Amino acid sequence: MAIKSEQKRAQILKAASELFCQFGYQVNMDQIAKHANVSKQTVYSHFQTKAMLFESHILSKCKEREVGTAALDDSQPINAVLYDFGLKFQAMHLETTVQQTFRNAVSQTSSHPELGQLYLKYGPERTLDLLADYLQRQDDLGRLTLASSAQNSAMQLLLMFHGKAVYWAFLGGESQENEAERALYIQQCVELFLLGNQ
């Protein structure tokens, strides 16, 4: 019984996520029920409000795209680790679903500020903490000397990694950069960061 209930919940969340990504928060529960091929009552039995369903959508999208600790391997050279991390981080932010999730969270901050906070907690804050922990370990091991706190250093690096490509994409534009240009940009970010933290 519990397994079937979890499957139904996942089915509803998948349908809602597809609609939220396509149409934003203005989607109603009737549309979600129809898209999930369940009754509206079934939707409400799993998610009491649309806000709760939207919150679950934001949370699931953040977890899907979470950067794992394996990406920050202490046994590898710092420049290679940061370069690979930067490439993956930027590429993730160029994915359509990631951009849509970000826009959806931002679009609801006036009426539902808790959704923006949820996005921050399970998206950017987790990535920031992960990178800050890595940088602090490298500092502790004497492999680099951070010019600022690990948190500030990680934030500087993450903001650089966004670059023109992500910034333009979040605003619906196209940076006109190809993959090689974006890779060179990430390499230059890493070099600049390491130069300032020797």
The pLDDT of residue 155 is 98
The pLDDT of residue 109 is 86
Q: What sign does the CA torsion over 174, 180, 183, 189 have?
A: negative
The pLDDT of residue 64 is 76
The pLDDT of residue 168 is 94
Under CATH, which architecture does the 63-196 domain have?
Answer: Orthogonal Bundle (1.10)
Domain 2-48 has CATH 1.10.10.60: yes
The pLDDT of residue 163 is 96
Percent pLDDT > 70 in the chain is 97
Which of 31-40, 109-118, 151-160, 174-183 has the weakest average pLDDT? 109-118
Most confident of 31-35, 101-105, 114-118: 31-35
Q: Confidence band (pLDDT; 50, 70, 90) for 162? A: very high
The pLDDT of residue 137 is 97
Instruction: Classify residue 45 by burial, with Cβ atoms within 10 Å: 0-12, 13-18, 19+.
Output: middle
Give the residue, 110 or 194, on which the prediction is more confident. 194
State the residue for tokens 């948190």: 151
Q: Confidence band (pLDDT; 50, 70, 90) for 36? A: very high
Would you say 61 and 98 are in contact if contact means Cβ atoms under 8 Å apart?
yes
Q: Which residues of 144-174 are buried (b: 16+ CB within 10 A; e: fewer)?
A: bebeeebeebbbbbbebbbbebbebbbeeee
Most confident of 60-69, 116-125, 153-162: 153-162
Arithmetic mean of pLDDT over the chain: 90
Q: Where in the chain is the domain with CATH 1.10.10.60?
A: 2-48
Give residue-wise pLDDT tens across range 65-91.
766 677 789 999 999 999 999 999 999
Q: Is the pLDDT of residue 48 over 60?
A: yes
Give the residue, 66 or 157, on which the prediction is more confident. 157
Average pLDDT value for residue range 28-57: 89
Q: Where in the chain is the domain with CATH 1.10.357.10?
A: 63-196
Q: Is the pLDDT of residue 46 over 70?
A: yes
Would you say 38 and 4 are in contact if contact means Cβ atoms under 8 Å apart?
no
Q: Is the pLDDT of residue 190 over 90?
A: yes
